[in-house]
Structure 1
Amino acid sequence: MPCLQRFLPDTAPETLIAALEQDGGIVIEHLLTPDGLAQFRSQLQPLLDRSSPCQGDFYGYATRRISGLIERVPVTRELAIHPLILQVMDAFLLRGCREYQLNLTQAISIGPGEPRQFLHSDDLMFPGTAPGSEKMINCMYALDDFTEQNGATCVVPGSHRWPEPRDPKPEEVISAAMPAGSVLIYLGSLIHGGGANQSAQARTGVVISYNLGWLRQAENQYLAVSRELARTLPPRLQRLLGYFVHAPNLGSIDGRDPIELLRDQPPADALFREFLPEEIIQPLAEARAAALRID
């Protein structure tokens, strides 16, 4: 019977990374403190109460979703830059980019009667490949106890290593049950889906996902987070929102790093800068010098 390995927050990052590499998903139990969990619930619940159920065969008809959590749910801001989580992201995503970014922040509350979601892998939203690297990684935080009965996320351990796409067999699909305050980290290439809620209560989780810095974000962070708020955020979170240039020259504005827009007094000069990887700066300089000699 397949299973996911479970850890506590004091586990060495190297151990988490090895397990995630092997199975495609891991559970870290009780990553959120009781106070942090209570804060999350109190800030999020009023938004869920005012929301309407989704209307679609993929998102469901008894499921409520709230996005833009960096703006709307302040406790999300600290969680998005949790040191242990970012160490895991570094190990996987920096294989395929120079800097990664927030892909999505979304609360998902699966209501009673919702059937199991279509099993899928999230990286299918990005056409093409990123050889040697994952394109994205998800972190699903349980705000309620996740059980097989109430719709815990279903995963197919090891499916990220399948040589060819196929439908999983029933015995390969497991329920990632975990206590409230825990997090399920799973690779974008892992087959998964929201579980069927056969209980009388909704179950709520929050997804914070990250992707390669040269890909389009699933959630438009520049509109989801007001510039007024972005100016007040920690520099690490500003960059995760996308306020950086991914070398070479992806994401600049008027030849500038977009993070300059968040400063109270941006530089007055009008220089059009280059944002180049270190390894090509010297060869370019030598090529230019050679061209000048020829001329």
Structure 2
Amino acid sequence: MTTTAHVDPTNREQAQAWDGTEGEYWAAHPDRFDTALARYQPAFHAAADIGPGDRVLDVGCGTGLTTRTAARAAPGGEAWGVDLSARMIEVARATAEAEGVTNARFGRADAQVHPFVTAEFDGVISRTGSMFFGRPDVAFANLARALRPGGRLTLLTWQPADRNEWIGVFAGTLAGRELPPSPLGSPGPFSLSDPDHVRDVLTGAGFTAVALDGLAEPEVYGRDADDALAFVLGLLGWMVADLTPAERDRRVEALHRTLAAHEGPDGVTLGSAAWLVTARRG
């Protein structure tokens, strides 16, 4: 797996974001993002059903927690994590080395077009990383080719925005409006939120036995409202960057009040809902 990447033209905007300031922020706060998704991790890992000798591809691996988990489940195999963010790949490598996970490998690659060896992998996994392809039909066909016949695909994707409290809170307070839904097939966090669309894309790419299991878990955004506010603004501060100082302060204060209202024993939690998607290469 190379550390450089040919990026398909349909993914250039995503590459600029993930290999730019957005990816830098994720790389600087790996534990925060992994904590937010922590309650989904056990079901996601169990669904992947990784065997001790499996070779696993982790698409959109970020800072590598899911890759390291897969590698530990396959001590006689290995896990390859790919992402568009060079900085997150650096963090993933360093963390795997520090934790002694020697069968985890990482590389910067556009999984939509990367020339994986045919039938190279026993499993492909992606935890909230598969919704950003410019051409999901092409991407999933490429991933199907990379899987051996009968190999397993396991995805975690968001359900529609109206079932995810976090996006309503962030968009409603900072942007001052609901964000328009991403058109089906275009990159965005909710691009694979419609079950019929997911089934159509995956079956068209050569997968069979496509199944979606609905999950709902709280996401943790900080120890308290102040901590959560700093974290969210670091990620989404661009939503208020062009406002007047007075309007920006008003919206930030509204977000702080909402986060404070969601404080509890586990910190600041907001509701979320995801699909656990599984399929087999035909």
TM over 0.5: no
Larger radius of gyration: 1
Q: Which has the higher helix share?
A: 2
Tell which has more relative contact order, 1 or 2 (C-alpha 8 A, sep 6+).
1
* TM-score of the superposed pair, with normalisation by structure 2: 0.29
Q: Which has the higher strand share?
A: 2
* TM-score of the superposed pair, with normalisation by structure 1: 0.28
